Structure 1
Amino acid sequence: MKQVFIVALMLWSLNMSAQDVPQKFVDQFFSIYQTKGANDAIDYIFSTNRWMNESKDQIENVKFKLNGTIKLIGKYEGHDLITKKTVGEHLLVYTFLVRYDRQPLRFTMMFYNPSKEWRLYNFSYDDSLDEELQEAAKAYRLKENLQN
């Protein structure tokens, strides 16, 4: 019985550590983002997926646009998790509020695990979170929510 328990514990710990990999990527991304800047953080997060090596121009474009936006919104003040969603055991999406002096940005990171290894699947950012919140708070939407 003791051997069965040890095997079950080992399998459980392997499963838990596999699910923790995207969180480690996110933690490392924001650590680099705060200490070394957006370019190094973007390079890091895209390096988690070997297929992204073929998309160097797109990665440079993301960095160029993000840096242009950052110049307009001031000093980085931190980040907050908005949501973490999973689709089964192989797709995971994090959405963050990234706080700056002037206004927030929203970062979305999607991770995919086809069989044994987590990797970045998609990274995006935008500054339209406030518009979505205003739309969600409109009276006609509130009325719909109250009826359901």
Structure 2
Amino acid sequence: MQYFSLKTIKPALFIVLTCAFYSSARAQTTATPATAAAKPAAAVTGVTTYIDKFFKTYEKDGTSRAIINIFKTNPLVDSTSLRGLIAKIDTTRALIGLYVGKELIVQRKASNSLILYSYLVKHQNQPVRFTFMFYKPKNDWEIYRLYFDDQVDNELEESAKINGKP
């Protein structure tokens, strides 16, 4: 799983936080009741506009332009720190084929100022997941975090296993 935060994180802490997020996201995925998943929240217009623009750029102009453009919404981001994320995504894209589309997996809203959108991103050979977290400190939405991973198929498979419960 690739993780990027606006704060500069040392490599050891980066690994710990990445594992913590992956574990908590996985636990939330298996513990979510079917009724909660069936009732999606209303789309947040400004946020979905940024995401749609991201995927159009991702398809036509590539990873680098898409990542840099979406992080222009946040004045605190250091573009040099995005290079690792861009390199990981580009390396993965070279293996999984051309981009063919996206599908919303989940939208979660912590408040009217913090929202998360997770997408299944379809490529010719394999799906990946992009999760966008947006924050609105005053009047405008800005990208707060961006997660990228290729474990969505493993999580789905794991969810089908019997957990030893009656």
TM-score w.r.t. structure 1 length? Answer: 0.78
Alignment of 1:63-102 (within 5 A): 63-102=86-125
User: Which residue among 144, 148, 151 is the counterpart of 1:128?
Assistant: 151
**Deviation for aligned residue 1:20:** 1.4
Deviations 1:87-144 (A, max 9, x none): 110101000000011110000000001121110000110001111111111012xx64
**Structure 2: runs of 5+ lacking an equivalent:** 1-43
Q: Which has the higher contact order (CA 8 A, sep 6+)?
A: 2
1:26 aligned to which of 51, 60, 80 = 51
The residue type paired with residue 58 of structure 2 is Y
TM-score scaled to structure 2, two decimals? 0.70
**Pairing 1:25-64 to 2, within 5 Å after superposition:** 25-52=50-77, 55-64=78-87
| Residues in 2 aligned to 1:31 and 1:50: alpha-carbon distance in whole angstroms | 22
Choose between structure 1 and 2: higher helix proportion. Answer: 1
Percent of aligned pairs with the same amino acid: 35
Larger Rg over CA atoms: 1
Structure 1, unmatched stretches of 5+, are 1-18
Structure 2 residue identity aligned to 1:42: I
